[in-house]
Amino acid sequence: MIAGIGAKFLSTCRYFGEIGLLVADVCMSLATTKPRIRLFLNQILEIGARSQLVVIVTGGFTGAVFAAQTFYQFSKLGMESAVGPVVAVSMCRELGPVLAGLMVAGRVGAAMSAELGTMKVSEQIDALRSMGVHPTDYLVVPRFLAMMVSMPLLVAECIGFGIIAGYIVGVMMMGIQEAYYISNTLYFTGIIDLLMGMIKGGVFGAMIVLISCREGLSASNGAVGVGHATTKAVVISSLSLLIANFFLTLFLNAFL
Amino acid sequence: MISVRDLHKSFGSQKILRGVNLDIQDGETLAIIGTSGGGKSVLLRHITGLTRPTSGTVLLDDIDITKLSERKLGPVRKKLGILFQNGALFDSMNVGENVAFPLIESGERDKKLIQQRVEESLEVVGLKGQAEKMPVDLSGGMRKRVALARAIIPHPAYVLYDEPTAGLDPIMADSIDKLIRRMQKQFEVTQIVVTHDMKSVATMADRVAFLLKGKIYFYGTPDELTSSDDKVIQQFVQGVSDDEDVDLEF
């Protein structure tokens, strides 16, 4: 049993080491090679543009259900006018970044690890290397940059649609007075709240892309291996994101 | 010139290469033959720097590539063109984009020149006018030809082939063999061909290295190989299985 725990600990250390090496490689690539604009734009389209529907639906319905639930509970205390700020602050600080992150991990992280994993097992990555093209430069960096640009914007979009949906439910469906709803929302929600969500989005994006690329690039054993890599990418990204969110909340609240 | 010195490679407890020594002279075509799973492709991957040895050196134009980092290997690898066993074409790109890839990556931006070179390379491999097709729409032989066109387009000094005729019908295999021979004459490249097809060896090789139990068992010309009275070599050349007399198991 102790040997088993030791082996698990070592494999966890190795995993963090590999992610660390990938980060170093990405930094080295950014410092020494020209960014590949065409690949970057393709990834913006794939990660940013094509994730919008998922993020809008997630943000919108989360904001809507959160507003409804908050209204039902707060109305017992006569605090209906607090629904707006509660929804807005929650969407900005927690729900927006976490839910957008989880959806992007599922949609983009899975696609990334599957694509890179397939390239790995079909020797396409070896072909890249054999032509003197570093896989990190060609495959990881454009995805990383595109994610760093797209993710904060996707989070902002998720937050925005959540707040709008909360307004529709709170004001139009539940009958909260519009003036109170808007003024309280604006009074209790600041730029810091939005900034916190977008910073979290950026960190989550970096985690998703690094974990997914690492899993894809280390895939082996044919189609089964690609399947395992894809599953691992989504599971590890999602769990890491939830854990990191807790520490980010503590850290950002202390400094912002 | 490529020199392999005392090359050892183990995967876990399994020893694949056990002290390979090999010289490949400029301008020659060397065939590396041996039993399936005997380490031929592993040896080829060491020559390209795609796999790191347990010990030993691989000198490519007097540079020990086993000591170079992945990033420093990049410029050295531009001297090489490699044909992978299954082609390893980029399935997100069409044939023309696949073939143009090494040129674009080496910094060429003149679209007209790139298109011209792509057409020339596809013509060399007998696939003129196929640039718009996607790899998924090609047969196995055509994929290998496209991969060869991609390998030769930057005019590398060395072209390495991993089982170029594996899985092809005899006519297609013969056309690939002749293509390899023509490559050497037309572009004066140094070539290494990993194969277990003796007919291919006779068609295109200047020299043959027979890899057995992780070491070079025979090195010489195809004629010397076929006329050898060594029992192990004869068994391999004639394709006769007789485990009781000779143990070819790795």
Question: Which chain B residues touch A30 with a CB distance below 8 Å?
Answer: none
Token readout for B143 is 């994929």
Please tell me the distance from the alpha carbon of residue B188 to that of residue B130, in angstroms, as a whole number: 26
Contact A132 B84 (CB under 8 A): no
Non-local CB neighbours of A244 within 8 Å, separated by 6+ positions: A203, A204, A207
Nearest-neighbour CA in chain A from B211: distance (Å): 23
pLDDT digits (tens, 9 = 90+) for B4-35: 999 999 998 899 999 999 999 999 999 999 98
The pTM for the full model equals 0.89
Cβ atoms within 10 Å, residue B174: 15
User: What distance in Å separates the CA atoms of residue B242 and residue B29, rounded to the nearest whole number?
Assistant: 31
Structure-token pair, residue A96: 């927006």
Measured distance CA(B39)–CA(A190) in Å, rounded: 65
Tell me the average confidence (pLDDT) per consecutive run of 10 residues in chain A, 256 residues long: 87 93 95 92 94 96 96 92 94 96 96 96 94 95 97 96 96 93 94 95 97 96 94 96 97 89
With CB atoms and an 8 Å threshold, state whether B84 touches A126.
yes
- Those residues of chain B that have pLDDT short of 50 are none
Give pLDDT, residue B246.
55
pLDDT at B177 (0 to 100):
87
**Side-by-side strand order, sheet with B215-220:** B80-83, B158-162, B190-194, B29-34, B207-212, B215-220
| Cβ-defined contact of A126 to B90 (cutoff 8 Å) | no
Å between A145 CA and nearest CA of chain B: 20
Separation between Cα atoms, residue A171 and residue B217, nearest integer Å: 85
**C-alpha to C-alpha distances, A85 to A69, A89, A195, B1, nearest whole angstrom:** 14, 6, 16, 73
Q: How far apart are CA B122 and CA B142, in angstroms?
A: 11
The CA distance from B86 to B140, in Å, is 8
Report the distance separating Cα B126 and Cα B234, nearest Å: 35
> What's the pLDDT at B247?
56
Which B residues in the span 76-95 are in contact with A, Cβ-Cβ below 8 Å?
Answer: 76-78, 80, 82, 84-86, 88-91
Q: Which residues of B touch A132 (CB under 8 A)?
A: 73-78, 105-106
By the CB < 8 Å criterion, does A31 face chain B?
A: no
d(CA A228, CA A156): 32
Q: Using H for helix, E for strand and C for coil, what is the string for B31-52?
A: EEEECCCCCHHHHHHHHHCCCC
Helices and strands (H, E) in chain A, number of each type: 12, 0
The string of DSSP codes covering chain B is: -EEEEEEEEEETTEEEEEEEEEEE-TT-EEEEEE-TTSSHHHHHHHHHTSS--SEEEEEETTEEGGGS-HHHHHHHHTTEEEE-TT----TTS-HHHHHHHHHHHTT---HHHHHHHHHHHHHHTT-TT-TTS-GGGS-HHHHHHHHHHHHHTT--SEEEEESTTTT--HHHHHHHHHHHHHHHHHH--EEEEE---HHHHHHH-SEEEEEETTEEEEEE-HHHHHH---HHHHHHHHT---TTT-----
Smallest CA–CA distance, residue B206 to chain A, in Å, is 25
Burial class (CB in 10 A: 0-12, 13-18, 19+), B134: middle
Is some CB atom of chain A closer than 8 A to the CB atom of B111? no
Read off the pLDDT of residues A48-107 as tens digits, 9 standing for 90 and up.
999 999 999 999 999 999 999 999 999 999 888 899 999 999 999 999 999 999 999 999
Token pair belonging to A242:
């939830």
Contact indicator for B76, B46 with CB cutoff of 8 Å: no
Euclidean distance between CA atoms B78 and B48, whole angstroms: 10
ipTM of the complex: 0.87
- Residue A32: closest C-alpha in chain B: B71
Whats the size of chain B, residue-wise? 250
Q: What is the pLDDT of residues B51-70, one digit of tens each?
A: 999 999 999 999 999 999 99
Q: Are A113 and A229 in contact (CB under 8 A)?
A: yes
Q: In what order do the strands lie in the sheet with B14-24?
A: B14-24, B2-11, B55-60, B63-64
Q: To the nearest 5 percent, what fractions of chain A are helix, strand and coil? A: 90, 0, 10
Q: Which residues of A touch B77 (CB under 8 A)?
A: 129-132
